Amino acid sequence: MMNAENDAVRKASPLVRFICTLLFVASPLHSLHAAEAAETQTTALTTTAPMTFPRTSWIGNSFSGREAWVPHNMDALFVRPDGTAFTNTYWEEGTHEVTIFKGGKVVGGSSDLHGWGRNGGYAITADDSYLYVGMVQGGCDGGNSSRNQFGLPQFPSCGTNWYAVGRYDFQGNPAPFNGGYGYKAHMLVVSIDGAQVPAHVSGLAAANGKLFVSDPAAGEVKVYNTFSMKQETSWAVAEPGPLAYTRPGQLWVLQAKSGVIRSYSPTGAALPQKIAVPGASAIAADPTGGMLLVADNGPDQNVKFFSGLDSSPVLHHTFGTQGGVVAGPVPGRIGGPRFNGLTGVGMDAKGNLYVSQNGTGPRRTASSYNTTLAAFDPSGKELYRLFAHEWVSMAVVDPLTDGAELYGRTTRYSMDYGKPAGQQATDLAVTMDRFAYPDDPRLKMSSGFVYPVALRHIQGRKFLFMTSMYATGLIVYRFDGEIAVPAAWLSAGSVGNEDGKFPASQPDGVWIWRDANGNGKFDADEYSSGDGSLNGSFAWSVDDDGSVWAAGGSSIRRYKALGLDQRGNPVYDTDKSEVFNLPLDFGSVQRLHYVPATDTLYVAGFRPGQSDDGCWGQVGKSLARYERFATRRPAKQFQIDIPSDCEGRVVPKAMDIAGDAIFIVDVSSGGHGTGLLRVYDARTGARTVAFHADPNVVGGISNTGWIDIPYGLRAYRRANGQYLVFVEDDLKSKVLMYSWE
C-alpha cells in the first residue's frame, strides 16, 4: 500500500498535502423554483451561500484530531516502567507512525517518520536514555545525494531501502549519533536491499548497554552497543521476530511463524528453555514477577504469563477472556479484556498491563480494524481503553432506530445525541469474526478498504451493504447476533487481493454470488454470471426497499430485492434485473440515488463531452433529478452544474441525499478545498448553505477533507427533522458527524 518499497504510491505524503487554503464562501443565496412534474430546468450555479459551522462531532476515535488522535494501526508496543506506552506501525496517515501514550492520553508522536521515503515499522523498545524504532528509509521519494553532519548519506540510492533502527528521545525527536545515517544522523542501518525483498526489523530489546535487533533478512539476531551504536556480535536464528529481555540475563526470541520462543544468553549462547505458543504475536518482560508475557493472537486471544524461565518454563496464568471479543455469551460484544487481534503487550513497574490490538494481528497489509490500546491494573480492572475504529471508512444509520444505532466497517455504535461532541457514540460490538468467517471480504480485500454504504431491512431482517475504495461492487452482510456474515455480492468485474484471486472460483466479468449453503465461504457453485453491461461500474445505490441500482456504459440497471432464501440471504438475479437507458443529459454516470416512494432518481456525473480532468473518483460536474423514472417516461425536474475544477482544487468527492437535502463534499486536493460541504434543496436544486467542520472541535479545515472513498458521505434525516451527515476523515482516523437542521 502506502510504502517506501512501492514507487507507485497511491497518495502524496500528508506532510506535503498538509497545506491549507480556506475557501471563502460568499452570498447571496441562489434559488430555483421548479415547476410541476413535467417541466424541466437546467441551471448553472455561479453563486454560493454564506459559510456556517453546524454542530460538529465525530465517531470512531477516542479523540477528535484537534490536538490528539489514536493511530489507525499499532503493530508493536513497548511500555516504560513509568507507564509511558509507545506504539509503532508502518504507515499512519496522520504522521504518527510512533504514538506516545501516558495515563489514557496521547502525549506525543514521531516527528519525522512520514514522507520523503520514511516509514515506521514493526518493532519498538527503549532503555533509560533513548527510544529505538524499527523503520525504513527509501531513496526515491525526496531522496538526494547530500551528506549529514557526520558525512554519511542522508538517503539510499533510488530503488534501495535502508531497514533501520531509528534512535529518538522520549518525545519522539530524532537523536543523532556519530555513525548514524539519514538526514538527522539517527538511523542505525541494519540491512540494505532492493524494493522487492522487504526486510523490516522484526524485533527489538535493550538492556545493560546492549541493543538486540532481529534481522530477518540475514536470519540473525544482532547486538549493538547503545553507547557507540556499533555492532558487537550476532548469531543465527531462523525467522527471528519479537524480542524480550528478562532477569537474570535471558534474551527471548519469538519465531513468529512457528510460535516457538527460544532463549539465549546476551552473547548468543543457546539456552535450553523454550516455550511454544502457536498464535504468539508479541512478547515482553514482566518487571514485577520475573515472568514472560506472551500475546496470543490465535483463537485464545489472551495474554499468557510464563514462570520458571531459568529452569523449566510453565504457564502460570492467563489474562483475558478466552476467545476474545468473539467469545460468548454474546460474540462480538465489546467490554473488559475481550481482546481482538493482539499486536503487543507490556507491563509497567506497578504491574499494570498494556495490550495493543488492531482487529487482526501484526503486519496487516490492508486496512486495520478496531485498533485499541487497553490498560489494566494488577487486579484486572480496566484503567483505560483508547481506540481508532474507522480509518478510510464510513458510518451508516439503522433506519429502524432513527439514528440511535450506527454501523461502521466492523463496529456497532449506540448513539446519545444529547451528549457533548465526541461523546455521543458508544462502541458496543464488533461485527466481524475472522475465526468463524475467514473469507470475510473485510479481511481479504487488499487495500480495498471495505466500508458500509447502507443498512436496509428486507422482510424484517437487517442487512449491511458495503463496497470498496474502488466501488467495483456491493457486498451484502446478514446478521447472526452481532456478527455480520457474508451473504451476497454483486460485482462489476473481477476482484483481487493480496493472496491472489479473491473470492475463490469467481467467474470472469460481471457476477453475483449468494451464500446458498450458509457457510460464509465463496463456493464454486454459488455464482451466477451477468451480461457485462455493468463492467467497470462505479455508480451504485441501495434504495429503501433493498433493491440495488447500478450504472455502467449506456444503461442503468435495477436488481430488485426478490426476497430471502432459506439461509436468510437476500436474492438478486441478473436475469430478472431491469435495464433503463442512460438519460441523454449524461455521457457517464458516477453516482445514483433512487427513492422508491416517489419513483425519483437522482443522477450525478458528466454531461456528454465532459471528463474528470484527471481528478479520479469524483461525483461529476452535473446533477439531475428525474420523476417517474421506473415508468420509463422520466421527466427531468432540474439539472444543475456541480462546482468542479481540478486545477482550482475544487473536487466533489462524495454525495448523498436524505429527505429534502442533497449533500456534496469536496476532497482535500493539494491542501485546498478541504472538506467543504455544500447543501442543495433536493426538490429544486437550489444551493442552500455550505459549511466546514467547526474548527473548535477538529482544529481547523486542514484536519478535514481527507476523503479517499467514493461513498465517503452518508446522510440521514431523523423523525424530528434533524439531518445527520457523516463524512470520511481518514487523516485522523475517524468519521465526522454533522447535525444540521
CA distance 555 to 492: 13
CA-angle at 569, arms to 564 and 573, nearest 5°: 70
Question: Any idea what DSSP says for residue 526?
Answer: G
Kind and range of the H or E run holding 76: strand 76-79
Say which DSSP state 558 is in: E
pLDDT tens for residues 518-562?
A: 999 999 999 998 776 665 568 999 999 999 999 988 899 999 999
Give the CA radius of gyration of the chain.
Answer: 27
* 3-class DSSP assignment, residue 453: strand
Is residue 16 within 8 Å of 9, Cβ to Cβ?
A: no
In 614-733, the DSSP E strands lie at 622-627, 635-641, 652-658, 661-666, 677-681, 687-691, 713-717, 723-729
> Long-range contacts made by residues 717-726, C-beta under 8 angstroms, separation at least 24?
717/658, 717/659, 717/660, 717/661, 718/402, 718/403, 719/402, 721/659, 722/417, 723/658, 723/659, 723/661, 724/397, 724/403, 725/656, 725/663, 725/677, 726/59, 726/394, 726/395, 726/396, 726/406
Distances (CA, A) of 715 to 493, 643, 737, 739: 28, 20, 10, 10
* Spatial contact of 475 and 464, defined as CB atoms under 8 Å apart: no
Residue 645, C-alpha cell as written in the block:
475544477
Cβ burial of 272 (10 Å; 0-12, 13-18, 19+) is exposed
Cell for 380? Answer: 484486572
Cα separation, 186 vs 409, whole angstroms: 38
**Superfamily for domain range 31-60+391-740:** YVTN repeat-like/Quinoprotein amine dehydrogenase (2.130.10.10)
In order of 192, 307, 483, 485, 487, the CA distances from 437 in angstroms are 39, 35, 10, 7, 11
In this structure, what is the dihedral angle of CA atoms 337, 339, 343, 347, given to the nearest 10 degrees? 10
- On whether the CB atoms of residues 235 and 243 are closer than 8 A, the answer is no
For the domain spanning 76-388, the CATH number is: 2.120.10.30
- 694, 692, 669: which is closest to 18 by C-alpha? 669
Q: Are 644 and 618 in contact (CB under 8 A)?
A: yes
Q: Where are the domains of the chain?
A: 31-60+391-740, 76-388
**Rounded Cα–Cα distance for residues 488 and 458 (Å):** 14
The per-residue pLDDT for 227 is: 97
**How far is residue 238's CA from residue 235's CA, in Å, rounded to a whole number?**
10
How far apart CA 138 and CA 115 sit, in angstroms, is 10
Buried b (16+ CB within 10 A) or exposed e, 299-322: ebbbbbbbbebeeebeeeeebbbe
Q: Within its chain, how far is the Cα of 524 from the centroid? A: 30
d(CA 194, CA 287) in angstroms, rounded, equals 39
- CA distances for 93 relative to 113, 548, 585, angstroms: 11, 33, 39
Distances from the Cα of 696 to the Cα of 53, 56, 66, 94, 683, angstroms: 10, 9, 8, 19, 33
Give burial (CB, 10 Å; 0-12/13-18/19+) of 230.
exposed
Sign of CA dihedral 527, 530, 535, 540: negative
Q: Which residues in the chain land under pLDDT 50?
A: 1-50, 498
